[in-house]
Amino acid sequence: MKLTRYFFLLIALIVANNLKAQRQWVIFPQPNEIITNEQSYELNGKIRCVPNEEEKLAIAVMQPQFTLFHELTFKEVTADSVQDLRFYYQPRLQKENYQLEITARGITIKYGDRNGLIYALQTLDQLMDDQSKVVEMNGLQIIDYPRFAYRGVHLDCSRHFFTIPEIKAFLDQLSALKFNTFHWHLTDDQGWRLEIKQYPKLTEIGAWRDSTVIGHYSRSPREYDHIRYGGFYTQDEAREIVRYAAERGITVMPEIELPGHARAALAAYPEMGCTGEQLPVEGLWGVFDDVFCTQPETIQFLKDILAEVIAIFPSETIHVGGDECPKTRWDVCPKCQKVRTEQGLHDSHELQSYVIREMEAFLNDNGRKLMGWDEILEGGLAENAQVMSWRGTEGGIAAAKMHHPVVMTPGSHCYFDHYQSTNPSEPLAIGGYTPLEKVYAFEPIPEGLKVDEQTYILGAQANIWTEYLPDMKSVQYNTFPRLVAMSQVLWTVDKPQYSSFISRMAIDYLPRLYEQEITYSTAFLDPTITLNPTESGLNYSFQSNVGSIWVNGNSENTLKLNRTPAPQFITAFVESDYRDEISRELNFEFVTHPLIGKPVHFITPPSKSYNHHDSLGLTDGVQGTTPWKGSQWLGFSYDTIQFSIDLGEITVFNHFQAGFLEDQGSWIYYPKTLIIETSTDGKKFKQHKAYDINKKVVNWEKKCKAKVVRFTVINVSKIPQGKPGAGNTPWTFIDEIMIY
């Protein structure tokens, strides 16, 4: 008898402990310390409290969320009446820290600044059960603080324009996840978005482009929509955003791009460029040769602009861009060369750092600090400059070693304009592949820094570039849930495992987004795909740890591809275990051919970043698509690539086909030459004519008899001058090798 009783007690204890463990997970980002207690407290329709002025403001900010999610209203009462929530302002608490306690006596919040107060209320909101008037809260104590002081989100409002209400709604989401910096990308080649009173043409002319490229910019030939597009923010509107963000604990850091990405400004004031030529606001994406001239008139023009920017934005740090500035105009501009000589500079790279130093001196004189993309390291870093490391982590490491503050934002983990799935039916993106799991695994402190150098890493930032995100819905799709993962990276010291994160996120956080009509991606449900060669072709097996899979409507999760040439369309549907509305559909188009499932022997292997299905990647029945979606294509970074295919037996064929990709902006170039060799014994090879490659698909028609076919693909060893990535080894992307 006794034993049974103990057994049930034990079970009850395990269940209770599990419930508590789960409760911690309802809060995103997860608080750093949670201690549960056995008490509880019940709220009924209202949260009675005695707020001071600062607390009144915070309550006003948070009330819409409490109304939406809980039917609870903050109610100001007199000090002698019953209170549900007690605030304690404790100036000695560190910045952004807060403590939240729930006992049978009620809720207490301790905070030392506005961010701590807002974060405590955000946590309180997430702690409560959804949609109910009567809220029973379990007893606990939360002691919480951020891992990093800088937790940023960037939004590009130049390539596409977002309205003030859209930006406010976006800021609400940032605050809920305890981000404290909004990096507002206000100017670029495709549109100047901030009113500058001294230079009205910046928005009269610079805020509008006549046409925008359709589809991916690497597409050839290019087509344009011929639709006038644009918009800008008045200074009053920008101030309104600053105020709105500040109320939510967010600093708005504006970015005025210089000296590159200046085409919109130069369309308004061509005399600020090197040639003086009147060019339109750009409608194509990319990097352009026409940049701000380094002449004194332009330097003054930029300082005048920054003076107005400073007056609008109280942010201690002002971002001046500094990235992707070609030096082609400066090299031949007499005005720039005069500046170079006068300043005793060696080359145009030093002219870039001259411009940045001028801007820094101006900002410092006005009590502000300068931030720039990591190119500001080139030609010497300005004295107090802060660096945003985007081209990998090297820039950040170099700057930290020089004791300059750094924000990490490497493209590999922090660029939310990248694809988050290899699903061929994903909406168009710029390229890359940054799935949720990769964001979650991001470690902002790069390897190779000493302990004291690590302290210069202020934090990290998610960047949302919008060339391919034309509206807020597409911004949201790319942002969520990757931003939830990033919040966890930046806030929580001891991050739980990814599998635990996604299940709680899907159950507890995505419904909050759904409730607020925020679009999100369910790409994290993508099944794993395993390929198994068979006698007649290839089997595709779809597996999921988080739900059930339906392939073309059947619960059979294996697709058999045989070698008979035919197109096949399949739809894989993942029904998650989490909630009904959290599901995922993937569409595949297969092209079957006689090489399906024949392993390729790589003499030069593909890059780890652009490998796909290993030895079956070139014969998996899925052709690489344009624009490339970070998948299907196998990417190589050698000038000569060699691989062979063993057909298993001597085979007669008369048609061979291979696909190649060109995307110059991503340094992917068509190779020059393809050499095909055939052998009937795998030892002695017969070399056939070399083929020039200058298009996507190379077709070779010749009757051949072979057991082994060997391919040699030759690219240039360095990208020529004047092309994107000049001087670097080009990427060669190949997909699907077929014979008939």
Backbone φ, ψ for residue 66 (5° rounding):
-70, -30
Min CB(360)–Zn ion separation in Å: 20
Listed ranges 126-134, 267-275, 566-574, 654-662: which one lies at the site for Zn ion (CB under 5 A): 267-275
Handedness of CA 611, 733, 702, 568 (dihedral sign): positive
Residues in the chain: 740
β-strands 547-551, 566-576 pairing: antiparallel
Q: Nearest to residue 385, comparing CAs of 410, 368, 366, 409?
A: 368
One of 336, 439, 485, 713 touching Zn ion (CB under 5 A): 336
Q: Is 707 in the site for Zn ion (CB under 5 A)?
A: no
Q: Is 668 in the site for Zn ion (CB under 5 A)?
A: no
Total binding residues toward Zn ion, as defined by CB under 5 A: 5
Specify the residue, 216 or 329, whose C-beta has the smaller distance to Zn ion: 329
Residue appearing with tokens 């605050």? 175
Q: Is 274 in the site for Zn ion (CB under 5 A)?
A: yes
> From CA 404, how far away is CA 690, in angstroms rounded?
53
Q: Count CB-CB contacts under 10 A for residue 415.
A: 23
Give, in order, the Cα–Cα distances in Å from 228 to each of 155, 190, 598. 22, 12, 51
Listed ranges 209-217, 311-319, 335-343, 730-738: which one lies at the site for Zn ion (CB under 5 A): 335-343
Q: What are the residues whose beta carbons fall under 8 Å from the beta carbon of 294, sequence distance 6 or more?
A: 259, 330, 335, 336, 339, 340, 351, 354, 355
CA dihedral (61, 62, 68, 74) in degrees, to 10, reads -110
Listed ranges 336-344, 400-408, 471-479, 590-598: which one lies at the site for Zn ion (CB under 5 A): 336-344
Beta bridge partners of 133: none
DSSP type of residue 509: I
> From CA 709, how far away is CA 513, in angstroms rounded?
53
Specify the residue, 136 or 347, whose C-beta has the smaller distance to Zn ion: 347
Min CB(286)–Zn ion separation in Å: 21
Min CB(285)–Zn ion separation in Å: 24
Specify the residue, 336 or 523, whose C-beta has the smaller distance to Zn ion: 336
> From CA 672, how far away is CA 634, in angstroms rounded?
17
Query: Which amino acid appears at position 685 of this protein?
Result: F
Q: Report the site for Zn ion in 362-391 (rule: CB under 5 A).
A: none
> From CA 351, how far away is CA 330, in angstroms rounded?
8
Min CB(334)–Zn ion separation in Å: 8
Min CB(358)–Zn ion separation in Å: 14
Specify the residue, 278 or 587, whose C-beta has the smaller distance to Zn ion: 278
Specify the residue, 293 or 661, whose C-beta has the smaller distance to Zn ion: 293
Specify the residue, 293 or 674, whose C-beta has the smaller distance to Zn ion: 293
Specify the residue, 293 or 376, whose C-beta has the smaller distance to Zn ion: 293
Cβ distance 427 to 466 under 8 Å? Answer: no
Min CB(308)–Zn ion separation in Å: 24
CA dihedral (170, 174, 177, 180) in degrees, to 10, reads -170
Per-residue x/- track, 606-625, Zn ion (CB under 5 A): --------------------
Specify the residue, 293 or 668, whose C-beta has the smaller distance to Zn ion: 293
Min CB(344)–Zn ion separation in Å: 17
Q: Count CB-CB contacts under 10 A for residue 570.
A: 15
> From CA 413, how far away is CA 426, in angstroms rounded?
19
Q: What are the residues whose beta carbons fall under 8 Å from the beta carbon of 76, sequence distance 6 or more?
A: 49, 50, 51, 56
Min CB(335)–Zn ion separation in Å: 4
- DSSP letter string over 317-379? EEEEE--S---HHHHH-HHHHHHHHHTT-SSHHHHHHHHHHHHHHHHHHTT-EEEEEGGGGTT
Q: Is 293 in the site for Zn ion (CB under 5 A)?
A: yes
Specify the residue, 292 or 373, whose C-beta has the smaller distance to Zn ion: 292
Q: Is 333 in the site for Zn ion (CB under 5 A)?
A: yes
Listed ranges 331-339, 347-355, 396-404, 720-728: which one lies at the site for Zn ion (CB under 5 A): 331-339
Listed ranges 325-333, 416-424, 467-475, 702-710: which one lies at the site for Zn ion (CB under 5 A): 325-333
Min CB(295)–Zn ion separation in Å: 6
Specify the residue, 268 or 713, whose C-beta has the smaller distance to Zn ion: 268
Q: Is 289 in the site for Zn ion (CB under 5 A)?
A: no
Report angle CA 573, 575, 580 to the nearest 5 degrees. Answer: 135
Handedness of CA 295, 298, 304, 307 (dihedral sign): negative
Specify the residue, 274 or 595, whose C-beta has the smaller distance to Zn ion: 274
Listed ranges 189-197, 330-338, 480-488, 501-509: which one lies at the site for Zn ion (CB under 5 A): 330-338
Min CB(325)–Zn ion separation in Å: 12
Report angle CA 488, 454, 324 to the nearest 5 degrees. Answer: 80
Backbone φ, ψ for residue 355 (5° rounding):
-60, -45
Listed ranges 159-167, 181-189, 207-215, 287-295: which one lies at the site for Zn ion (CB under 5 A): 287-295
Listed ranges 79-87, 286-294, 632-640, 727-735: which one lies at the site for Zn ion (CB under 5 A): 286-294
Min CB(293)–Zn ion separation in Å: 3
One of 23, 239, 303, 335 touching Zn ion (CB under 5 A): 335
Handedness of CA 174, 177, 180, 183 (dihedral sign): negative
Cβ distance 137 to 128 under 8 Å? Answer: yes
Q: Report the site for Zn ion in 222-251 (rule: CB under 5 A).
A: none
Which residues are catalytic, by number? 188, 261, 324
Cβ distance 103 to 37 under 8 Å? Answer: yes
> From CA 478, how far away is CA 417, in angstroms rounded?
6
> From CA 422, how far away is CA 428, in angstroms rounded?
12
Min CB(323)–Zn ion separation in Å: 19
Asked if the bond preceding 481 is cis, omega within 30° of 0, the reply is yes
β-strands 181-185, 150-156 pairing: parallel
Specify the residue, 289 or 471, whose C-beta has the smaller distance to Zn ion: 289
Cβ distance 289 to 283 under 8 Å? Answer: no
Specify the residue, 168 or 335, whose C-beta has the smaller distance to Zn ion: 335
Min CB(188)–Zn ion separation in Å: 20
Encode 208-233 in three state secondary structure.
EECCCECCCCCCCCCCECCCCEECCE
Listed ranges 116-124, 141-149, 326-334, 605-613: which one lies at the site for Zn ion (CB under 5 A): 326-334
Q: Is 272 in the site for Zn ion (CB under 5 A)?
A: no
Contact positions vs Zn ion (CB under 5 A): 274, 293, 333, 335-336
